Amino acid sequence: MTILFFSAQYLPTVGGVERYTWNLALRAAKEGYRAVVVTSALPGLPARESDENHIEVRRLPVWPVMKGRFPVVRPSGARALRRLVQETEPDFCVIQTRMYTQSILAARAVHRAGVPAIVIDHSTGYMPVGGGLVGLAGRMYEHLACGIIRRTGPDFYGVSAAVCRWLQTFGITAKGCLPNAVDPVALIQESLKEPADWRELLHVQPPARLVLFVGRLIPEKGAVALARAVADLPDTLLVAVGDGPERDRLRELGALAPGALPHHQVVQLLQQADVYCLPTRYAEGFPTTLLEAAACVCPILCTPTAGTEELLPGPEYGTLLADTDPATIRAALQALLADPEAARRKAEAAYANLTAHFTWDAVFAKIMAIAREKTKEGTGA
């Protein structure tokens, strides 16, 4: 079986959708299927290659709109995409997210070729492109894109219940949920690569505490509010991992902002931190970092974003913030840090829930069941 995975952004770009795509393609390749990831061109990377896991990667020429956050496929890329569908003769296609130009082109190309496909969506809001006429134009574009894709006939899935509800904004009833996930065993193995004692490296000695944030350093993610909260807590260090325009401001507030770190170092920090905090206001689909924190048995403090109702279904699993005011964050942090045993019990409950429901093997099995059913329908069997 040949499976095409359409993902407008892919590794080495780091993000939830990128890792979701990689994990599915990795399992497809390990099962002996031909896995082809179609994505956007990046400077210095070849147009086509096969990685060490036998995942084939095809990169299309794009215009890097919004500093690369919204790649727009060039006309030559659109032609290359159509040729790719014809040449690979896929049996099944997975289209990641509903709004990219690549998603539109992919949906139309596979529909013409008679290839069964699904769309997996990852957001619970419109793209943050700004207010006024720009914001209105962005919302109009998303409705147009969804309408075009919907008419090609794929089933839609969300990575969380919140995403499935959001799809109704576009007149789309999700077929089901294919949640974001992690591989707990792989994370443990990854953490053993170049092992490090981050508390020693960062000079965080008892009774000092380590609070961790991982994500893009943009206003919607709430890192500055978190830094303001931590600044008033004695013997507490905030490490904010990621890049973005707020990095200098975080440093001014006393946080350690090392930029983007290799993934194995992020995992190590999650294993060693006292609290992982994500006070996001962003239209998340199901943040991978929450799942990774749960897999590392790190106590979680976050806003009720998409996915928390599944991963943290009650106060015994984690702590949810009522708002993103620094005073609210500070009070919640104080309560968690004052009772480390209670925080550990919450983290252990979240870990048990994760291993039961949110692993990549379980999600891939669900997708392959869908693929087999779709393929059978297409052949009239």
> pLDDT, tens digit, for every residue of 229-275?
999 999 999 999 999 999 999 999 999 999 989 999 999 999 999 99
The number of folded domains in the chain is: 2
Are 118 and 222 found together in one domain?
no
d(CA 8, CA 127): 15
Q: Tell me how far CA of residue 260 lies from CA of 96, 228, 257, 291, in angstroms.
A: 24, 21, 9, 19
Q: Do the strands 2-6 and 92-96 form a parallel or antiparallel pair, or are they unpaired?
A: parallel
Looking at residue 333, its pLDDT comes to 97
Q: What size, in residues, is the chain? A: 381
d(CA 161, CA 174): 9
Give the three-class secondary structure for 171: coil
Closest alpha carbon to 307 in 184, 183, 181, 150: 181
Are 193 and 256 found together in one domain?
yes
What is the mean predicted confidence (pLDDT) over 116-143? 92
Q: Is the dihedral of CA 286, 190, 212, 295 positive or negative?
A: positive
What is the mean predicted confidence (pLDDT) over 325-329? 97
d(CA 108, CA 149): 7
| Mean pLDDT taken over the chain | 94
CATH no. for residue 236?
A: 3.40.50.2000
CB 210 within 8 A of CB 239: yes
Does residue 112 carry a pLDDT above 80?
yes
Are 82 and 92 found together in one domain?
yes
Which of the residue ranges 126-135, 208-217, 241-250, 288-297 would you say has the lowest mean pLDDT?
126-135
Looking at residue 229, its pLDDT comes to 97
Give the three-class secondary structure for 41: coil
For a pLDDT cut of 70, what percent of the chain falls above it? 98
| Structure tokens given for 269 | 């920090």
Are 149 and 26 found together in one domain?
yes
Are 30 and 159 found together in one domain?
yes
Are 345 and 363 found together in one domain?
no
Are 264 and 290 found together in one domain?
yes
d(CA 328, CA 153): 45
Tell me the chain's radius of gyration from C-alpha atoms. 21
- Report the run of H or E that residue 4 belongs to, with start and end: strand 2-6
Closest alpha carbon to 211 in 322, 325, 295, 330: 330
For 154-182, give one letter per residue: b (16+ CB within 10 A) or e.
bbbbbbbbbbbebbeebebebeebbbbbb
Are 289 and 222 found together in one domain?
yes
d(CA 172, CA 151): 11
Looking at residue 204, its pLDDT comes to 86
Q: Tell me how far CA of residue 22 lies from CA of 12, 60, 116, 334, in angstroms.
A: 10, 17, 20, 38
Are 309 and 370 found together in one domain?
no
Looking at residue 67, its pLDDT comes to 80
Give the residue numbers spanning the domain of 194.
Answer: 184-357
Does residue 130 carry a pLDDT above 90?
no
Are 335 and 372 found together in one domain?
no
Does residue 380 carry a pLDDT above 80?
no
Does residue 99 carry a pLDDT above 70?
yes
Alpha-carbon 322 to chain mean position: 23
Does residue 381 carry a pLDDT above 60?
no
Are 144 and 270 found together in one domain?
no
Looking at residue 305, its pLDDT comes to 87
Closest alpha carbon to 277 in 324, 218, 234: 324
Are 370 and 348 found together in one domain?
no
What is the mean predicted confidence (pLDDT) over 347-361? 95
Alpha-carbon 43 to chain mean position: 23
Does residue 34 carry a pLDDT above 80?
yes
